[in-house]
Amino acid sequence: MLYAEDLTEGQTFELGSYTIGEAEILEFAGKYDPVPIHIDPVAAAAGPFGGLIASGFNTIAIYQRLVVEAIWTRVAGIVGRSFEIRLPSPVRPGSTLTGQSLIQKITIRPERRDAVVIFKTELVNDEQRPVLVLVLDALIHMRPTPLCAPRTRSCGRAMLRQL
C-alpha cells in the first residue's frame, strides 16, 4: 500500500485501457442520459457530432473504473474532496480509451495524519485526442502509527471532523 509519504509530485500512474462498444453506450444512456445523441443512432447521425456518442457521465464512469484499478487499489485514499472535469472530444462506439494520472501537488498535514493530493488525469482516444481531463483533490492517509491505524473508528471520526 502506498501512503502519502510514498507519493511524489510529478509521479504518474498509467491507467490502462478500456474499449467502449455501441451496446454499452446505448444501455448506459438509456438508463442515465436518454438524449438522442446517446440513444438513437439515426437521430445522432443528423446531430452535431455526426453519429452516436457516449454520455459524458459514461466517460466519467470509465475514468472511475480505470482509476480504481490503477490507483485506489494501491494508494491509501480516504476520500475525494472535489474535482473539475472537461470533456474536450466525444467518445464514439469502438473507441479505446487510455489514460495517465499525474500528481500535481502534495500538501502533507501531519497534525491530521493525511495529505491533500491533487491528481490531474487525462483520458485519450485511439487518435490520442483528449476525451476527458479531470483534476481531483483527494485526501490520502499518511503511514499508520501504532496509535492511529487508517480506517479505525477513533481515527476515522477525528478525520471526518476535520474535513
Determine the distance from the C-alpha atom of residue 73 to the mean position of all C-alpha atoms in its chain, rounded to a whole number. 13
Q: How many residues can be counted in the chain?
A: 163
pTM: 0.86
- C-beta of residue 123 within 8 angstroms of C-beta of residue 99: yes
Domain ranges of the chain: 4-162
For the chain, the farthest-separated pair of C-alpha atoms sits apart, in whole angstroms, at: 63
Q: Measuring CA to CA, how many Å separate 123 from each of 34, 66, 98, 129, 139?
A: 24, 10, 5, 8, 22
Give dist(CA 127, CA 96) in Å, integer: 9
Looking at residue 145, its pLDDT comes to 82
> What is the CATH code for 4-162?
3.10.129.10
Looking at residue 22, its pLDDT comes to 98
Q: Which residue has the cell 502519502?
A: 4
Residues of the chain with pLDDT under 70: 147-163
